[in-house]
Amino acid sequence: LGLSGEIAFTVDSAEHTLQVAVEPDGSLWAVFADTTSGKSSYRFRFLRPPAPDGDGRVRVDFNRTLLPPCAFADHFICPFPPPGNTLTVAVPAGERNRIDG
């Protein structure tokens, strides 16, 4: 995972940052964990924000977080969140746990 940027956002009046990779189409990709990780959500999740607008702004929508493929089968290899991409807040949104059965 080649990290090439950082997004900053505010949750409950506190600023947070995530390191991101930039995809060939300009969209972003972050691997992150939060305080729900390993409890009510998988150990980590993916967030794929759109490309920044002309002012460098990005809409961070945690409702669009995705479970990594390794949440569903052991034969997938997934990158872990890089240092610093563990949020100190809960993100009770998006895909959170796989459903068995």
**Integer Cα distance of 23 and 38 in angstroms:** 27
- pLDDT of res. 35: 95
Q: State yes or no: pLDDT of 11 exceeds 90.
A: no
Is residue 95 predicted with pLDDT exceeding 50?
Answer: yes
If you write DSSP's letter for every residue of 3-26 in order, what string do you get? --EEEEEEETTEEEEEEEEEPTTS
pLDDT tens digit string along 23-59? Answer: 999 999 999 999 999 998 999 999 999 999 999 999 9
Report pTM: 0.88
With a cut of 70, say whether residue 68 has pLDDT above it. Answer: yes
Note the pLDDT of residue 99: 54
Task: Output the CA angle 40-73-7, nearest 5 degrees.
Answer: 55
Look up residue 10 and give its two tokens. Answer: 């505010």
